Amino acid sequence: MYLIGVTGGIASGKSVVARRLAEHGAIHIDADQLARQVVEPGTAGLAAIAERFGPGVIAADGSLNRAALGAIVFSDEDARLALNAITHPAIKELTKRIMQEAEARDPSAVVVYDVPLLVEASVDKDYHRFDLVVVVSASTEIRIQRLVELRGLTPEDAALRLSSQVTDDERLAIADVVIDSNGTLDETLRQADRLWESLPARIA
């Protein structure tokens, strides 16, 4: 198995790059999707969140009220760390199992792990030794603009979310490959295509 970690700040375009690599044949594991799975109704993760943050973060249907939880954790560092302490171990265990299953099916598979918190969660120090780390990078201004236009956040909320993550410099320090997503979608996709074309030589 050849394992690629794709990371980047919120609204950097990392998932666009990861999905493009999947279109070329990589197995795509989306950490955000796994994060939703580990807090579904009936999970230990959701029960722990309700105990820590109170009933206000649980919706009427028993699911997680993400907006209510986000309002708490993006403005309170201790709350964010408490949430991470609940969810990160569960996500790592689930990821480990999925990767083992992928490698068992095809030992030569290219697996792309799309993980926003690769630096924050020290992912590579636990189960996942990356063969290649790809950082998708865009300016703060571009990412705030995307959060406002595409996700409906206020500029203040967008800036708050960016500030809750590690700095661009910290991400770039671990990068083997940097994809600049400040330009158009097509420009970002072409960089992902070139990365895929380079993989046989990298793997060899």
- Residue range 73-101, pLDDT digits in tens: 988 889 999 999 999 889 988 988 999 99
Q: 99-157 pLDDT, tens per residue?
A: 999 999 999 999 999 988 787 665 555 546 899 999 999 999 999 999 999 888 899 98
**Is 42 or 120 the better-scoring residue by pLDDT?**
42
Taking all residues of the chain, what is their mean pLDDT, rounded to a whole number? 91
Residue with tokens 């109704």: 41
Residue with tokens 């722990």: 48
For the beta carbon of residue 80, count every other beta carbon within 10 angstroms: 16
> What is the per-residue pLDDT for 122?
59
Domain, as residue range, for 168: 2-203
Percent of the chain exceeding pLDDT 70 equals 96
The CATH number covering residue 79 comes to 3.40.50.300
The number of domains in the chain is: 1
Query: Can you tell me the distance from the alpha carbon of 81 to that of 165, in angstroms, rounded to the nearest whole number?
Result: 11
User: In 3-state terms, what secondary structure has residue 25?
Assistant: coil
Q: What pairs with residue 177 in β-bridges? A: 134
Query: Can you tell me the distance from the alpha carbon of 181 to that of 99, in angstroms, rounded to the nearest whole number?
Result: 27
Side chain identity at residue 24, one-letter code: H
Task: Locate 131 and state its tokens.
Answer: 């063969």
